[in-house]
Chain A
Amino acid sequence: NAGVMQNPRHLVRRRGQEARLRCSPMKGHSHVYWYRQLPEEGLKFMVYLQKENIIDESGMPKERFSAEFPKEGPSILRIQQVVRGDSAAYFCASSPGASSFYEQYFGPGTRLTVT
């Protein structure tokens, strides 16, 4: 049973370009969470999605960031016009349900470097 898949593992973008990060949840999981880890910091919640629905985006920056989880295919975190401060590790997690006590399974992360 494959775990949470994220690609690419490493992504380099120049300032002003767009970054697309993909996350395929574990089989049978319909809930996806995105977290960002800045250097020397813990993970910060960004957004929580179910298939075709954004449930909680309270951690998403107001501009340039968007997320989707279509009916078919992976969840996508999109960052437009990247800036140096977007350089971070972005982790996706999935769970089988919405309740707090369901364990969130984390992917290996995408490390974004903005030059």
Chain B
Amino acid sequence: EAGVVQSPRYKIIEKKQPVAFWCNPISGHNTLYWYRQNLGQGPELLIRYENEEAVDDSQLPKDRFSAERLKGVDSTLKIQPAELGDSAVYLCASGPRGYEQYFGPGTRLTVT
């Protein structure tokens, strides 16, 4: 079974530029999560989708972050404009309707 796929794996941008991350979850997983992981910290949830509905976006900085999950499969997370403090690893995870979550390899974002 293929795991969660994310792209790109690395991204370096200048502050104030836009950036987008893409995630393809494990086939059949209804729930999709976007996390941000700062160096030396645990993942922190940005948004959780059940199919195409965002059911928890309370930690998403909506002034600059947006996300979508069209057709309840792939998802895109966007930052516009990026700030220096956005440098982190952005992790996508998916799970069946239930408890388990399986993570993708992440996108390491560096904002200069």
Real complex partners, A and B?
no
Q: Which residues of B contact A (CB under 8 A)?
A: none
